[in-house]
Structure 1
Amino acid sequence: MQQPTFSGIRIRTPTDAHVIFYAVIADMLPMVAHRLDIRERRFIQSGCVFVWEERGQSSAASGIERWTDGRRWGPSRVRDEFLYYEEKLPEVNADEELSSLMYVSRLVKKTYSVYVRTRAGSRKWHLVAYYTEQTLEQLLTVDDIAELAALRLHIPEGLFTTARLTKSRTCAEHAPSDRFARVGGPPMLTLSSPDSSPSPTATVSTPPSSATTLPPLKPEPWPLPYQTSPSAAGSDCDRAPQVASYRAHAPERLAPLVYLKSTPFPPRHPFDKDALRSLDGGIA
């Protein structure tokens, strides 16, 4: 039966997670080698921490494809490079006091991922920590355990590289450019060393030459107040519009009919009124 990597502890910061990872490298703590079975899942409780390696091209013979614990979780929340998941409890008809007790006693799953530099190449490791709001302050920390606290000063710099990218870094990597457009997509990023910034591979699919060409869209009935920068098109990172001299380059366009109908007409000139009266008299 597999045991947790550590029990009775809470992970506060990425540095705490790095200490646990380094303890696994030093063979002080065990790594989870395969998925938890039904029996092992039942022993998951507040304070359990698991470290596992993701199966990849460089670790095809070992590792786990994805983490499963047999529980239902809500959507993830990101905070300080951690992902948080709150356990979904079954709906029951309970009073307010019981509902409050169930809320603080439900599990919270906290995950953190890094790329580890090893002699066999870069590996992706994950840490999964469980706790409840009710027992969080009762759990030990890395600083409370002398053997783990002593490892802080011995972790080599650059050994761990976070697998989560910051928003600005993601924007810079996925922003379109002319160089990428010419070759059909950005270059493949390798994870051979933690010195290179790891990130998921992004590809841009280009339509084949035989693809059906759609007719151009009709122009808008009125000029746009701004136009978006070409570098921001198709990117979720920078949607701030840039004011441009639209009138100098845009073709002459008529105002929409709805606008004309809602605009009051200027008063007629007296000469025009006399001319209209003479026409009315001739028709009569």
Structure 2
Amino acid sequence: MITSNSCSLDVPYFHGYVETTMDALQLIYAARQGIIPRITRRLNHTERGVMIKSGAVFIFSVEESGIRRWTDGLLWSRSRIVGNFLVYWQINKHASGRGRYTGAEARNVPIYCNSLELSSGYKRGSTTQSGGEQGTLEPNALIKKTVTITIEGSDFHLISYYLSEDICNGRLKRPLSHPDVMELYMPPSIFRLTKFRVPPKIEIGPDGKPCFM
């Protein structure tokens, strides 16, 4: 059951970055419980211009919001599979005389600083074919990272935007810095873990309850 705590759309409900699958699980579960707000409708043109920036993280339920495909008005590279996530890089379609974007440029852009899960997944990741893009990779390109997690039959989408520079310089923090999110107990049984390419591991905690490692 979703607890009501929708987002006013003045600011994203969470400012930071999502590095691991556990980060995504914790944020989505917290949003479902009403601890942090959710997006309940599409952003309009003005809201997208103000809110789509490094550090913005959005979460929404398809059932509640009616949003089946997230749109932000920006032009992105082909998706790259990185662990359980899809990652995109912003490209500039109107850069003249700078050549055609082929995707090779994006492979040289760091996703995270010292990220074990995602840097290793990125090296192994495959490219999702979505047609050729015409344009060039933006300098210090904005990166978009997405994941869909199913809880008791309801799909929740997480969309995260960030600059690699902001992570390397410590300007963006993970959910670990939010005690109200981290202290929540997440019953693994409510998540459809079979949808993950790299399922999180589960163990029995000191209290005898199953928990994510």
TM-score range, shorter chain: 0.5 to 0.7
SS of residue paired to 1:42: helix
SS of residue paired to 2:139: helix
Q: Give the TM-score normalised by the residue count of structure 1.
A: 0.48
Higher strand residue share: 2
Task: Select which of 150, 154, 162 maps to 1:123.
Answer: 154
Structure 2 match to 1:108: 143
Deviation of the 1:102 alpha carbon: 4.8
Higher helix residue share: 1
Task: Select which of 174, 186, 192 maps to 1:155.
Answer: 186
SS of residue paired to 2:91: coil
Deviation of the 1:15 alpha carbon: 0.6
Task: Select which of 74, 83, 87 maps to 1:84.
Answer: 87
SS of residue paired to 2:26: helix
- Percent same amino acid among aligned pairs? 30
Deviation of the 1:14 alpha carbon: 0.9
Unmatched 5+ residue regions in structure 2?
1-7, 99-136, 199-213
Whether the aligned pair in 2 keeps the contact of 1:11 and 1:141 (CA below 8 Å) is: yes
Q: Any idea what the Cα deviations from partners look like across 1:76-120, whole Å, max 9, x if unmatched?
A: 0001110001111241568xxxxxx9522x210000101111xxx
| Aligned residue pair count | 148
Q: Any idea what the Cα deviations from partners look like across 1:47-100, whole Å, max 9, x if unmatched?
A: 11000122xxxx4x7421210001011100001110001111241568xxxxxx
Unmatched 5+ residue regions in structure 1?
95-100, 168-284
Task: Select which of 3, 11, 28 maps to 2:18.
Answer: 11
Q: Give the TM-score normalised by the residue count of structure 2.
A: 0.63
Structure 2 match to 1:34: 41
Amino acid at match of 1:88: I
Structure with the larger RCO, 1 or 2 (CA within 8 Å, 6+ apart): 2
Q: CA RMSD in A?
A: 2.3
* Bigger Cα Rg: 1
SS of residue paired to 2:68: coil
Residue 73 to residue 81, structure 1, CA distance change in 2 (3 Å): same
SS of residue paired to 2:24: helix
Residue 165 to residue 14, structure 1, CA distance change in 2 (3 Å): closer
Amino acid at match of 1:74: S
